[in-house]
């Protein structure tokens, strides 16, 4: 008779549970598998022994208790000429565990990877109108410009090897649509931290509104009206232009996903201020990849990471059920974009039944990057810049909360009925083998 002794459950925090299936242990948090421990070494999962398995056949009875069963083939016993149940059990367990583990990910919670940055990838071209040396509109020159991005990719570090393909995060800098860059310190720090957690991150430049140079953009959400006062004129051009260029970037990344190791079925967009507003339009203004989409976005946006941005009066009824998840970060002392706008965004997401979370930066003003990233992450980044690859443990910062949120959004679904049925079949096989052993 074969005997199986699973591993003893570890003490787990509130809201977690252990589920033991043969010698495979699954750890769930909030109903999602976050760790799998089994007899085989599977990616980042900890290996465990198969436990005590004994068989009445001569071969099993004569082997030391510590010997491992054959994991490669079913072995015939040396005396009785029957298939050794010890090997059968091991083979079935390995096959099922490997199959099951193929649908379970360790997640992207821990900052265990390095980072490599490829700068200034040209993701497209677009036009601007140059008015610097002209006296009338008829003399304006239409000039093509290259659109560029920096790609942050996770790399192997201290024995941790990133998976491939990897989920994609598109980051869009702020600056009121008139300034800013893909290399701004806040954006580049955010991108580095995300890569440490296993994400591929594209930080993009897009066409800005300058004194003597206007983007040539087809109106999408607003009319391109330069006669509007102040910020409204910038927004009318700015959101149309930034959203158009961001979709161009997503199109480029999607078409080069295989070469770059990107999983464009799992995509987040995020940004600060003007970049956050643009991200909202990407996530909720044109999320479905169809020809009816005004942006003609080639990928589905799984989540929007919105830092101190706003949709202003457009917030109401802008979101629909089934659209992107939303994480909002905003300082309650922001004098540039009202804190109430962020509360309205979160309330709209709740009303539509979307997955959402809201992090308030207490005392935080506009573009409060340090408060968002947190002291520990900032210390790790400083070490990295100084050539010291030492990570300071961090938990509880708004950035850390976004990491957990993102991991939940893209988590692989629970096992299918087919896989569960396979475990039931394995149980039946064990019963038949045990019955034969008693005959």
Identify the weakest region by mean pLDDT among 193-202, 310-319, 414-423, 426-435. 414-423
| Residue spans of alpha helices (H) in 82-132 | 85-101
- Which helix H or strand E contains 130, and what residues bound it? strand 114-130
Residues 6+ apart with CB under 8 A from 18: 9, 10, 12, 25, 26, 27
Q: Mind listing the pLDDT tens digit for each residue in 188-204? A: 999 999 999 999 999 99
- Which helix H or strand E contains 71, and what residues bound it? none
Q: What φ, ψ does residue 23 adopt, rounded to 5°?
A: -105, 20
Q: Mind listing the pLDDT tens digit for each residue in 248-298? A: 999 999 999 999 999 999 999 999 999 999 999 899 875 444 333 467 788
pLDDT at 15: 34
Q: CATH for 114-409?
A: 3.40.50.1820
pLDDT at 315: 78
Identify the weakest region by mean pLDDT among 54-63, 68-77, 281-290. 68-77
By three-state DSSP, how is residue 372 classified?
helix
Of the two residues 105 and 383, the one the predictor is more confident about is 383
CA-based radius of gyration for the chain: 27
- Rounded Cα gap, residues 91 and 97, in angstroms: 10
Could you tell me if residue 317 is left (phi over 0), alpha (psi between -120 and 50 degrees) or otherwise beta? left
> How many CA atoms lie less than 13 Å away from 295 in the CB half-sphere?
32
Length of the chain: 439
Domain spans, the chain:
16-105+415-438, 114-409
Q: What band does 120 get if pLDDT is binned at 50, 70 and 90?
A: very high
* % of the chain with per-residue pLDDT over 70: 60
Q: How large is the average pLDDT for residues 341-369?
A: 97
pLDDT at 137: 55
Q: Mind listing the pLDDT tens digit for each residue in 310-336? A: 987 777 778 989 999 999 999 999 999
Q: Tell me the sheet residues that pair with 101.
A: none
């Amino acid at each position: 008779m074969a005997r199986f002794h699973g591993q003893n459950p570890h003490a787990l925090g509130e809201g977690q549970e252990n589920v033991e299936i043969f010698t495979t242990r699954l750890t769930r948090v909030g109903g999602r598998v976050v760790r799998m421990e089994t007899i085989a070494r599977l990616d980042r999962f900890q290996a465990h022994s198969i436990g005590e398995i004994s068989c009445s056949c001569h071969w099993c009875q004569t082997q030391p208790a510590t010997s491992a069963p054959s994991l490669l083939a079913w072995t015939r016993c040396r005396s009785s000429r029957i298939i050794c149940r010890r090997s059968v059990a091991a083979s079935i367990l390995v096959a099922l565990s490997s199959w099951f583990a193929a649908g379970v990910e360790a997640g992207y919670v821990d900052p265990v990877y390095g980072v490599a940055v490829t700068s200034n990838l040209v993701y497209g071209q677009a036009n601007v109108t140059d008015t610097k040396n002209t006296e009338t509109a008829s003399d304006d020159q239409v000039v093509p410009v290259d659109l560029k991005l920096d790609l942050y990719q996770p790399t192997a570090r201290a024995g941790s090897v990133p998976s491939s393909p990897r989920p994609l995060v598109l980051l869009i800098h702020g600056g009121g649509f008139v300034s800013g860059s893909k290399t701004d310190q806040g954006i580049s720090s955010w991108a580095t931290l995300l890569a440490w957690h296993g994400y591929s991150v594209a930080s993009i430049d897009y066409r800005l509104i300058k004194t003597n140079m206007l983007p040539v953009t087809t109106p999408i959400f607003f009319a391109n009206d330069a006669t509007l006062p102040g910020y409204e004129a910038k927004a009318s051009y700015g959101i149309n232009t930034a959203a158009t260029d961001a979709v161009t970037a997503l199109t480029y990344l999607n078409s080069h996903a295989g070469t770059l190791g990107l999983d464009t079925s799992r995509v987040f967009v995020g940004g600060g201020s003007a970049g956050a507003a643009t991200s909202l339009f990407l996530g909720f203004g044109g999320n479905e990849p169809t020809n009816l989409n005004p942006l003609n976005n080639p990928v589905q946006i799984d989540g929007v990471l919105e830092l101190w941005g706003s949709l202003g009066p457009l917030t109401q009824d802008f979101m629909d059920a089934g659209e992107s998840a939303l994480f909002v970060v905003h300082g309650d002392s922001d004098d540039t974009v009202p804190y109430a706008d962020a509360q309205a965004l979160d309330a709209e997401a709740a009303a539509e039944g979307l997955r959402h979370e809201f992090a308030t930066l207490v005392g935080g003003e506009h573009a409060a990057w340090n408060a968002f990233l947190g002291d520990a992450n900032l210390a790790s980044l400083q070490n990295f810049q100084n050539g010291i690859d030492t990570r300071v443990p961090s938990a509880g910062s708004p950035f850390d909360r976004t990491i957990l949120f993102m991991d939940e959004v893209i988590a692989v679904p629970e096992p299918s009925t087919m896989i569960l049925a396979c475990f039931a079949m394995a149980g039946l096989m064990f019963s038949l083998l045990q019955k034969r052993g008693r005959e």
